[in-house]
């Protein structure tokens, strides 16, 4: 009999399992391997399953503090993360990590008044820190007091909304160029991840602040190393990891009973409490089969697909086909010429020159991500082929020698992965927006006292930080502990 059974393979599930084991619970992680498997290409190239930046690895970040608490050291990207490059039509700008550095870079490269620019970014920092403080307050208080706190914060919520408007108008006051506005908008889109509400623009202080704090320090292949370190941490703390062929059934009662198939044999697992990742493909079925959970789900969540989804191409290229001046992380702004179906930017992530964990000698692993709107066209795969070719054409225009240097590519596999992700029912829900300072949040409690959920979708406007906070929260609740939050 396990104290806690965790189902899922995404980062939020792994955080839950490792932290619950750290707190002393006897845990079992049922790792379905559906969401965290790395991508490999012929020729020795390796990419992470998640193509988007991870936040919270700066010194004051939530993920960094969790890893320190779990005694996971030497994490990639924690020491001096590189900045983010933005490629405009006529030039490329490099933004350094850190608020002061970003302010100086922006004022210099866009010819803005330094004092006005400093005030603009100070407003962003103030909003982001307020959200951090309020998340800590809400998670750290007893459930019964949350309504009272929400009422006390209603005025601050209205002030926050007004500040958001001032940040937009502030760009006009700064005489900001179209390039700067689109640069900030692309940066917010990149870091907002679960923004189903369409707020991924220059109003999203939390997203901009996450980027400025230094979130581009993880190279291809290194995210999988962190996930493996979380698994190892769970096992070192006495936890067990099971990788079944499939999960056949989950029965909810006073205790939890799970049946799985392992190498053709059926195994029964018993536990006192259950934590389920929202990204587990069986999550919707589990909810629908239990009336109390179904009613709760309908009250707190709404079925809705993301307005955009990331589509990523993976390429293995000759290191000489990419300019030496190109950074590891590059946002390439695109002129859509008024066409709504054209991606406004591409996000490029380039691994180090091999030999490395991501590429062989003299080669580099290059991933290219665009945010695409779901299409109702029947021939969606044909449309994606067209999009993939357009992405490659844009790369060839920016880097004339890239076409000849491509050693390996997974266009067809990328298309099939993207279509499969769009059809995954676990992605068809989002927390209903709450009035709490404009920040939708669900603590992960369910009507069943021994069932909890975890996933970044529970805190959609926190981006990747939402995955980490939700995992910590689920571990605490399942262990019966007072809420533990890592924000300074």
What average pLDDT score do residues 359-386 get?
80
Last residue of a domain, one of 195, 212, 229: 212
> CA triplet 458, 375, 338: central angle to 5 degrees?
100
What average pLDDT score do residues 165-175 get?
51
- Asked if 294 and 439 sit in the same domain, the reply is yes
In angstroms, the CA 306 to CA 73 distance is: 35
What total number of domains does the chain contain?
3
Range name among 149-153, 223-227, 421-425 with the lowest pLDDT average:
149-153
In angstroms, the CA 431 to CA 302 distance is: 7
What average pLDDT score do residues 93-115 get?
86
The pLDDT of residue 265: 92
The pLDDT of residue 488: 42
For residue 461, the tally of other CB atoms under 10 A from its CB is 24
- Asked if 111 and 253 sit in the same domain, the reply is no
- Asked if 178 and 250 sit in the same domain, the reply is no
- Asked if 121 and 263 sit in the same domain, the reply is no
Question: Is position 149 within any domain?
Answer: yes
Question: Is position 360 within any domain?
Answer: yes
| Residue 44 Rama label (left phi>0; alpha psi -120 to 50; beta) | left
In angstroms, the CA 340 to CA 358 distance is: 35
Q: Residue 118 is part of which domain span?
A: 98-212
pTM of the predicted model as reported, rounded to 2 decimal places? 0.87
- Asked if 254 and 183 sit in the same domain, the reply is no
- Of the pLDDT bands very low, low, confident and very high (cuts 50, 70, 90), residue 445 is confident
The pLDDT of residue 453: 94
Higher pLDDT, 402 or 339: 402
What average pLDDT score do residues 47-76 get?
83
Cα dist. 248→102, 232, 269 in Å?
Answer: 51, 26, 11
**DSSP line for 324-383:** TT--SEEEEE---TT-TTS-SEEEEEEPPSBSSSSS-BTEEEEEEEEEE-----S-HHHH
- Of the pLDDT bands very low, low, confident and very high (cuts 50, 70, 90), residue 6 is very high
Residue 21 has pLDDT above 90, yes or no: yes
- Asked if 400 and 441 sit in the same domain, the reply is no
The pLDDT of residue 17: 97
Q: Is the peptide bond before 355 cis (omega within 30 degrees of 0)?
A: yes
- Residue 476 contacts by C-beta under 8 Å, 6 or more apart in sequence? 19, 23, 482, 483, 484
Average pLDDT over all residues of the chain? 80
Residue 479 has pLDDT above 60, yes or no: yes
Residue 292 has pLDDT above 70, yes or no: yes
In angstroms, the CA 477 to CA 217 distance is: 31
What average pLDDT score do residues 195-201 get?
49
Express as a percent the part of the chain with pLDDT over 90: 29
The pLDDT of residue 487: 47
Last residue of a domain, one of 156, 180, 212: 212
Highest mean pLDDT among 53-62, 100-109, 151-160, 211-220: 100-109
The pLDDT of residue 373: 74
Question: Is position 12 within any domain?
Answer: yes
The pLDDT of residue 417: 82
Query: In the structure encoding, which two tokens stand for residue 319, read together?
Result: 């290191």
In angstroms, the CA 241 to CA 226 distance is: 16
């Amino acid at each position: 009999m396990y104290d806690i059974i965790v189902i899922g393979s995404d980062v939020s599930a792994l955080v839950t399992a490792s932290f619950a084991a750290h707190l002393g619970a006897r845990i079992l992680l049922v790792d379905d391997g559906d969401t965290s498997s790395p991508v490999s290409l012929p020729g020795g190239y390796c990419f992470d399953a998640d193509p988007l930046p991870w936040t919270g690895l700066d010194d004051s970040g939530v993920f960094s503090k969790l890893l320190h608490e779990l005694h996971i050291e030497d994490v990639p990207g924690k020491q001096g993360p590189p900045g983010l490059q933005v490629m405009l039509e006529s030039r490329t700008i490099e933004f350094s990590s850190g608020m002061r550095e970003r302010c100086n870079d922006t004022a210099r490269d866009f010819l803005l008044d330094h004092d006005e620019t400093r005030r603009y970014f100070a407003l962003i920092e103030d909003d982001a820190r307020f959200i951090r403080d309020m998340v800590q307050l809400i998670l750290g208080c007893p459930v019964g007091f949350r309504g009272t706190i929400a009422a006390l914060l209603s005025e601050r919520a209205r002030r926050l909304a007004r500040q958001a408007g001032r940040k937009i108008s502030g760009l006009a006051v700064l005489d900001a160029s179209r390039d700067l506005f689109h640069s900030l908008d692309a940066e917010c889109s990149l870091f907002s991840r679960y923004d189903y509400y369409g707020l991924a623009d220059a109003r999203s202080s939390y997203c901009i602040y996450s980027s400025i704090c230094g979130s581009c320090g993880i190279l291809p292949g290194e995210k999988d190393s962190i996930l493996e370190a979380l698994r190892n941490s769970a096992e070192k703390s006495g936890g067990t990891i099971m990788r079944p062929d499939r999960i056949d059934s989950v029965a909810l009662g006073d205790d939890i009973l799970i049946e799985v198939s392992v190498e053709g044999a059926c195994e029964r697992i018993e536990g006192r409490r259950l934590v389920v990742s929202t990204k587990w493909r069986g999550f919707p079925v589990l909810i629908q089969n239990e009336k109390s959970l179904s009613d709760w789900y309908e009250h707190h969540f709404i079925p809705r697909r993301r307005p955009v989804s990331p589509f990523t191409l993976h390429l293995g290229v000759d290191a000489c086909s990419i300019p030496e001046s190109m950074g590891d992380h590059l946002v390439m702004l695109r002129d859509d010429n008024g066409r709504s179906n054209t991606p406004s930017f591409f996000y490029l992530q380039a691994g180090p020159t091999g030999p490395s964990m991501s590429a062989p000698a003299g080669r580099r692993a290059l991933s290219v991500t665009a945010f695409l709107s779901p299409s109702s066209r029947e021939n969606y795969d044909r449309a994606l082929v067209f999009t993939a070719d357009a992405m490659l054409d844009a790369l060839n225009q920016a880097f004339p020698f890239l076409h000849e240097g491509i050693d390996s590519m997974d266009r067809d596999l990328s298309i099939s992965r993207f279509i499969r992700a769009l059809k995954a029912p676990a992605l068809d829900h989002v927390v209903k927006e709450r009035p709490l300072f404009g920040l939708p949040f669900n603590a992960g409690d369910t009507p069943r006292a021994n069932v909890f959920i975890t996933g970044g979708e529970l805190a959609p406007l926190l981006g990747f930080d939402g995955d980490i906070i939700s995992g910590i929260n689920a571990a605490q609740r399942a262990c019966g502990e007072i809420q533990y939050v890592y924000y300074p």
